[in-house]
Amino acid sequence: MPRDFFDPKYKVNGIKREFIGNSFSKEELASQVERVTGVLDDLYELRPGVFVATNIPAVTPYEGISEPFFILKNGALVRDDFRSELVVVIMTPEGLLVMCGCAHAGIVNIVRHVSRLTGISRIRAVLGGTHLVHASRARIQNTAIDLKTAGVESIGVSHCTGQQAERQLAKVYGDRFFSNNTGTMVEFDL
């Protein structure tokens, strides 16, 4: 889990503060599972060839976080930069498989970070959300081009991508683009 997983999280609109964090404690979770691990390292190995990446730096200028998400730290609300978002990375002989949740940290930031951490520039596929549902047309176009330039060979997007971004990614990726919805099965030779 991310290092800030149990920190109270809020969505703030004006004076309205809505709790959007976990409804359970670390102790409750620990009583239900064998082991709870907070990931601090940039790249944490789960098993040979399977990693979790985190500490995602915001290096792509157009991938700023505009949502009003905050974390309560030492009694003060601070903007959530989503650096601690977790990404699953699987190494294969033909390149990396990168699996994201919502990609709040920016899908291009994530791909560049994973590539830098592993030293592998070939990304067989990116699977998951891209958080482009409310993005501008320019950001969507830049994202599609930068993913292709970064070595992403195929992309399967889900929930928070949005129709406009799906159309642009499909245009750039052709038959190497697909909607990755609940129940979609994708097979890769490992």
Q: Where are the domains of the chain?
A: 40-67+82-179
- pLDDT for the residue numbered 132: 93
Spatial neighbors of 147 by CB under 8 A, at least 6 apart, are 107, 108, 111, 126, 155, 169, 172
- pLDDT for the residue numbered 182: 83
- pLDDT for the residue numbered 64: 80
- pLDDT for the residue numbered 185: 83
- pLDDT for the residue numbered 98: 97
Q: Whole-model pTM?
A: 0.91
Spatial neighbors of 190 by CB under 8 A, at least 6 apart, are 49, 90, 92
Spatial neighbors of 10 by CB under 8 A, at least 6 apart, are 17, 18, 19, 20, 21, 69, 70, 71, 72, 77
- pLDDT for the residue numbered 14: 86
Residue numbers in the chain where pLDDT is lower than 70: none
The pLDDT tens digits of the residues spanning 4-51 come to: 888 999 999 888 999 999 899 888 988 998 887 888 899 999 999 999
| Architecture of the structural domain at 40-67+82-179 | 4-Layer Sandwich (3.60)
| Separation between Cα atoms, residue 55 and residue 9, nearest integer Å | 18
